[in-house]
């Protein structure tokens, strides 16, 4: 990033006042042409190697959301499936005003869709690249960043890729942390309690990570926060060189200089953040007690660490884990009625209640002399004449309005007919299947789901 002028950047009216929405809010828009009948997708607002981000509108509430479309084939080919799984696992549990919230995850055979808060102000990087910030503005954003980072650390979550490109701004110019694809969850089974994976963006990576030894994820995040604060106040990176190895040497040795306009208090504070020794580097608890940080600081109340394990959006034991959506090697195409899975079973989407689905399947089976061997919660098993397990039916929650029914079948001689499921029972279940999702996308051009790379 080139050095900017001495003038500090200031922000004007909120984005919602200065620009019109990129998603059409016309009441005449048909929800049937929207993504899963729920989201009208409009302007492309971001592109990455494996995903594209669109501005969208919730057709039920009119709320602006961001839809991140991930190409399943690309992430599998690139070996990044674990990153996507990790991002889903972490983001859907984090509830903090300065962290982008993951609202839901949707999927077709070829795409995975993250529906998230829409940060109308865009990337913080785009703002600071136009000029450095005033010290007061730096303090405001750093306070919000540390509030979010401290919240994550209290839950054993370390971001590991903090940089201005992953810090967004909402319509009120408040900061939102995003992109948890490289995040790590502390593993209590490791005897040293340290992380051992080299990751992050080079200019923001802590020196102990470069040493390729075990490192404390919290201390590494604090270093990255220090680099972010330096960039906001100076307008350029503290460690930068065209030669990557030279830059790494500067990071490892802590070789950087402050611009002349940096106040003594801020110099002292950043020096504590960019301490090359993680043992003496300032901690989050010490940061919030530092005089420079505390000026004008208002603590934000957030939820207790135990809430990491509580899932507001999904009932425990009944929800289809987003990992399963990704791990179905054949994909789950919601536009297909009955789709065969690799395990020899079938699955289909339905808008009916789980109770109604189970009752309908049981009634259809009983008409053919096949009884219910066991029924529990959102699942049941159908048995042949001697009560042996023949068909297992399990129902999982996909969205607020849709469930997925997974049928696993074993055929043997106790069935009245070996193909009774295909020829007798299954044809009676057509009314349960939700047929109209995943076929089109609600944008001004009427794009299909497959157009969202």
Binding-site residues for ATP sit at 68
- In the numeric block, which tokens belong to residue 450? 């497959």
Rounded to 5 degrees, φ, ψ at 108 are: -120, -170
Answer yes or no: are the C-beta atoms of 183 and 160 closer than 8 Å: yes
Residue 19 backbone phi and psi in degrees, to 5? -145, 150
Give the integer Cα–Cα distance in Å for 451 and 453: 6
DSSP annotation string for 292-346: HHHTT--------GGGGG--TTS-TTTB--HHHHHH-TT---TTSSSEE-TTS-E
Q: Exposed/middle/buried for 312, CB within 10 Å: 0-12, 13-18, 19+?
A: exposed
Token pair of 91, please? Answer: 């983001």
- Cα Dmax for the chain: 87
Question: Is-catalytic flag, 161?
Answer: yes
Contact 106, 398 (CB under 8 A): yes
- CA dihedral angle for residue 142, residue 145, residue 147, residue 151, rounded to 10 degrees: -150
The CA distance from 207 to 223, in Å, is 9
Of 6, 58, 117, 161, which residue is the catalytic one? 161
Tokens representing 396 are: 């999982």
Residue 93 near residue 45, CB atoms below 8 Å: no
Local structure of 392: helix, strand or coil: strand
Q: Are strands 122-123 and 167-169 parallel, antiparallel or unpaired?
A: antiparallel
Q: Which residues are annotated as a binding site?
A: 68
Contact by Cβ (8 Å): 177, 149: yes
Q: How far is CA 293 from the centre of its chain?
A: 29
CB 34 within 8 A of CB 442: yes
For residues 417 and 384, the answer to whether their CB atoms sit within 8 Å is no
Task: Give catalytic residue positions.
Answer: 161
């Amino acid at each position: 990033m080139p050095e900017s002028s001495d003038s500090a950047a200031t922000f004007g009216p909120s984005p919602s006042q200065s620009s019109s929405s990129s998603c059409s809010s016309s009441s005449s828009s048909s929800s049937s042409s929207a993504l899963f009948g729920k989201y009208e997708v409009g302007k492309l607002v971001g592109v990455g190697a494996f995903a594209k981000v669109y501005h969208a509108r919730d057709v039920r509430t009119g709320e602006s959301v961001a839809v991140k479309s991930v190409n399943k084939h690309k992430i599998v080919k690139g070996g990044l499936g674990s990153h996507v799984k990790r991002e889903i696992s972490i983001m859907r549990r984090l509830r903090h005003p300065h962290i982008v919230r993951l609202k839901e995850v949707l999927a077709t055979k070829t795409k995975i869709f993250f529906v998230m808060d829409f940060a109308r102000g865009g990337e913080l990087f785009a703002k600071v690249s136009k000029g450095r910030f005033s010290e007061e503005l730096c303090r405001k954003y750093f306070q919000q960043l540390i509030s979010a980072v401290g919240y994550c650390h209290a839950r054993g979550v370390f971001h590991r890729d903090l940089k201005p490109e992953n810090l967004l701004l909402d319509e009120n110019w408040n900061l939102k942390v995003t992109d948890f694809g490289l995040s790590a969850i502390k593993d209590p089974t490791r005897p040293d309690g340290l992380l051992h994976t080299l990751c992050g963006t080079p200019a923001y990576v802590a020196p102990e990570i470069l040493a390729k030894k075990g490192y404390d994820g919290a201390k590494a995040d604090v270093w990255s926060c220090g680099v972010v604060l330096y960039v906001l106040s100076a307008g350029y990176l503290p460690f930068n060189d065209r030669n990557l190895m030279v830059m790494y040497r500067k990071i490892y040795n802590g070789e950087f200089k402050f611009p002349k306009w940096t106040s003594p208090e801020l110099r002292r504070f950043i020096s504590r953040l960019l301490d090359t020794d993680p043992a003496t580097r300032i901690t989050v608890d010490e940061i919030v007690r530092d005089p420079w940080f505390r000026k004008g600081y208002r603590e934000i109340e957030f939820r207790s660490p135990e809430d990491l394990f509580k899932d507001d959006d999904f009932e425990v034991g009944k929800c289809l884990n987003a990992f399963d959506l990704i791990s179905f090697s054949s994909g789950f195409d919601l536009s297909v009625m009955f789709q065969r899975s690799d395990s020899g079973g079938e699955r289909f989407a339905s808008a009916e209640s789980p109770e109604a689905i189970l009752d309908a399947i049981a009634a259809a089976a009983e008409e053919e002399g096949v009884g219910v061997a066991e029924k529990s919660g959102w699942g049941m098993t159908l048995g042949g004449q001697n009560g042996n397990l023949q068909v297992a039916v399990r129902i999982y929650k996909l969205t607020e309005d849709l469930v997925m029914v997974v049928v696993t079948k074993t055929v043997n001689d106790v069935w009245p007919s070996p193909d009774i499921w295909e020829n007798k029972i299954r044809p009676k279940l057509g009314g349960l299947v939700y047929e109209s999702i995943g076929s089109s996308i609600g944008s001004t051009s009427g794009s299909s789901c497959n157009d969202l790379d």
